[in-house]
Structure 1
Amino acid sequence: MRIMITGGTGLIGRQLCKALLSADHDITVLSRHPDTVKEKCGAAVRAFGSLDEWSSDEVFDAVINLAGEPIIDERWTEERKECLWRSRVRLTEDVVRRIKASNHKPSVLLSGSAVGYYGDGGNKEVDESAPTSTDFGATLCASWEETAQKAAAMGVRVCQLRTGLVLDRTGGILAKMLPPFKFGMGARLGDGSQWMSWIHIDDYVAMVLVLLHHAHACGPFNMTAPEPVTNRAFTEKLATALHRPAFFVAPAFVLRLALAERAYLLLGGQKAIPVQMTGLGYRFLHAKLEDALLDLVG
């Protein structure tokens, strides 16, 4: 297949490119830094610096839209919120416009989203039928998904990837947590009762490949493992995997002072269940957190 990937130089994109190249797919990656694409994604990967390079005669069989600025790294000023919106919704609008202008429409669009679509779900399990929330993160995800869904009117199969916390020792949340935990400075967040919907990077990539090739898969998919855990349990299991204690607590009021509006991303959570993916018959490589952590850091 000839596949266009946005966000291909990110944590997920790099691993996905490796898997796709090993299966002899032809990959093009959209990047603001096209000169780095071959180093990060593979020597055989072609780079676009702009979607304007996607001509109407260009043939892509599939588009995987993973681009998006990190949501928690910077304070949510109005300027930053616009940047987050532009990197997700506006870029997806541009992708859909390029699909519309293409003489050869891709058969499938796999487009990013997040379990933040559900807002803070408390202790309630949420599957793909659950409604969205009204906070900024949820509104961002809902608009992101609605924009991608417009490609369906052109005969394109659309899947929205409601991504949880992707675990990989080379990047993302786990890489940020490892240094303090290795020094015995690991801490739970607040009372630790908030749910964390996680997914091993290998499962995430495998699930994307399933959705890429499954002709009847469409709509939203919770890209999470089947057994979410609380922050307290995650803290304990990571400390155990590293043979270190984790006695500390990051108080909720300190996180609220430091992160302001963003604090709910750490103090709230979602108990997301991948009903749609298991319905396709997918069997997880790492269904339990302790097994995933043993593979990644044990």
Structure 2
Amino acid sequence: MRVAITGSTGLIGSALTRSLLADGHQVLRLTRGRTASRPADGSESAPWEPGSRLDPAVLDDVDAVVHLAGAGVGDRRWSETYKQEIRLSRLQGTRTVAEACAEAARPPRVLVSASATGYYGDTGERVVTESDPVGDDFLASVCVAWESAAAPAERAGVRVVHPRTGLVVSADGGAWGKLFPLFRFGLGGRLGSGDQYWPFISLPDHIAALRYAIDHDDIAGPLNFTAPEPLTNREITRAMGRILHRPTLAAVPAFALKAVLGEFADGITGSCRAVPAGLQKAGFTFRQPGIDEALRAALSKDQPTESATPEAPSEATPEAALEATPEVTREAPPGDARTAASAEPGSIR
């Protein structure tokens, strides 16, 4: 199988690339402003410009496209200018990829185009599935437009999947990568009231779910990429302390978060109790369904990359997250240690 990936140097993109290569698949990295090359890891690369055009011929021999690129939600305090960058980087990049898929002589059979649990907005204690309506805040408006931008591919008959990603548990990047150092030094604690639900998912489960969505032709539309039992920030804080053997007495009140982060603080103190109804109905099995397993996987130095796609059972059973995690568009060269793993867009909530 040949898979094209945007955002291939971010936290999720690089992990997905390693997983696919380990299983003998071909990976084509779509990178900004670079000529075609063959990185040291055995993947290939081709240039694209998110705001303009991707040559459809690049995708002629591609089986699947995974689109993860976008400006980092948590990169800086939100100004009106940066909010516009967050929106445009997602809409323009997705539309560019979708149009290339539609115009390819032999279109890919599937486009997996990132989204986020920020789609639902602040939902309090209510359990949220893929059938719930869009929220009414900035991130929700971005997510609904983000998903709609993939319409050209869908109209052309390409199967489109939208992973609505929650908070990806990893010590190597993303929102959680910023939390681990604080907790290791005993400075971790609840954020805001601590009663807000955070929909989390381990990085290995996220990669396995991406590959599951690619491989199963009956999967289409939005899917919550979250663990089966979302927890409150207070519960996650206790788990962090328990696993790291550190106190969790510190607390940051909501007004302080607002003062430092501005409107982005709403994505931290807001609540989203999203559950993976679609993945579970499709027969996907989580390997780290609980927070303790997810944290231990994040701290493991020996995370396997092979066999990332679990077998489906014989019968299918039926911020707010901090960041959704499309990967940053400011890509470092493949193999460069300075990859922007900590600045993934995506985990928009």
TM-score range, shorter chain: over 0.9
In the alignment, is the contact (CA less than 8 A) between 1:242 and 1:297 conserved in 2? no
Let me know the Cα RMSD of the aligned residues: 1.8
Which residue does 1:7 correspond to in 2?
A: 7
Which residue does 2:327 correspond to in 1?
A: none
In the alignment, is the contact (CA less than 8 A) between 1:225 and 1:287 conserved in 2? yes
Q: Shift in Å at residue 212 of structure 1?
A: 0.3
SS in 1 for 2:171: coil
SS in 1 for 2:149: helix
Q: Shift in Å at residue 74 of structure 1?
A: 1.3
Which residue does 2:345 correspond to in 1?
A: none
| Residue pairs, 1:125-144, within 5 angstroms | 125-144=127-146
Question: In the alignment, residue 239 of structure 1 is paired with which amino acid?
Answer: G
Q: Shift in Å at residue 297 of structure 1?
A: 2.7
Task: Give the Cα separation in 1 of the matches to 2:204 and 2:38.
Answer: 21
Which residue does 1:268 correspond to in 2?
A: 270
Task: Give the Cα separation in 2 of the matches to 1:38 and 1:126.
Answer: 43
The answer on 1:242 being equivalent to 2:240 is no
| Residue pairs, 1:29-44, within 5 angstroms | 29-32=29-32, 34=34, 43-44=41-42
In the alignment, is the contact (CA less than 8 A) between 1:122 and 1:195 conserved in 2? yes
Q: Percent identity?
A: 38
Q: How many positions carry a matched residue from both structures?
A: 296
Which residue does 2:17 correspond to in 1?
A: 17
In the alignment, is the contact (CA less than 8 A) between 1:241 and 1:297 conserved in 2? no
Match of 1:99 among 98, 101, 116: 101
In the alignment, is the contact (CA less than 8 A) between 1:162 and 1:220 conserved in 2? yes
Task: Give the Cα separation in 1 of the matches to 2:7 and 2:89.
Answer: 10
Task: Give the Cα separation in 2 of the matches to 1:165 and 1:200.
Answer: 8
Q: Shift in Å at residue 105 of structure 1?
A: 0.8
Task: Give the Cα separation in 2 of the matches to 1:186 and 1:280.
Answer: 37
In the alignment, is the contact (CA less than 8 A) between 1:196 and 1:269 conserved in 2? yes
Question: In the alignment, residue 48 of structure 1 is paired with which amino acid?
Answer: A
Match of 1:112 among 106, 111, 114: 114
Match of 1:173 among 172, 175, 182: 175
The answer on 1:226 being equivalent to 2:228 is yes
Q: Shift in Å at residue 86 of structure 1?
A: 2.1
Provide TM-score, normalisation by structure 2: 0.81
Which residue does 2:347 correspond to in 1?
A: none
Question: In the alignment, residue 147 of structure 1 is paired with which amino acid?
Answer: A
Question: In the alignment, residue 18 of structure 1 is paired with which amino acid?
Answer: R
Question: In the alignment, residue 15 of structure 1 is paired with which amino acid?
Answer: A
In the alignment, is the contact (CA less than 8 A) between 1:194 and 1:267 conserved in 2? yes
Match of 2:157 among 150, 155, 158: 155
Residues 43-91 of structure 1, C-alpha deviation per residue, up to 9 Å, x if partnerless?
A: 2111123155634373211111111111122122222122112221111
In the alignment, is the contact (CA less than 8 A) between 1:2 and 1:62 conserved in 2? yes
Which residue does 1:199 correspond to in 2?
A: 201
In the alignment, is the contact (CA less than 8 A) between 2:224 and 2:279 conserved in 1? yes
Question: In the alignment, residue 31 of structure 1 is paired with which amino acid?
Answer: T
In the alignment, is the contact (CA less than 8 A) between 1:111 and 1:159 conserved in 2? yes
Task: Give the Cα separation in 1 of the matches to 2:289 and 2:295.
Answer: 11
Match of 1:182 among 184, 195, 205: 184
> Which segment drifts farther, 59-68 or 76-85?
76-85
SS in 2 for 1:110: strand
Question: In the alignment, residue 117 of structure 1 is paired with which amino acid?
Answer: Y
Question: In the alignment, residue 54 of structure 1 is paired with which amino acid?
Answer: D
Question: In the alignment, residue 104 of structure 1 is paired with which amino acid?
Answer: R
Q: Shift in Å at residue 100 of structure 1?
A: 2.2
In structure 2, list runs of 5 or more residues that go unmatched.
Answer: 301-349
Question: In the alignment, residue 162 of structure 2 is paired with which amino acid?
Answer: Q
* Higher relative contact order structure (alpha carbons within 8 Å, sequence separation ≥ 6): 2
In the alignment, is the contact (CA less than 8 A) between 2:99 and 2:152 conserved in 1? no
Which residue does 2:91 correspond to in 1?
A: 89
> Which segment drifts farther, 58-67 or 275-284?
58-67
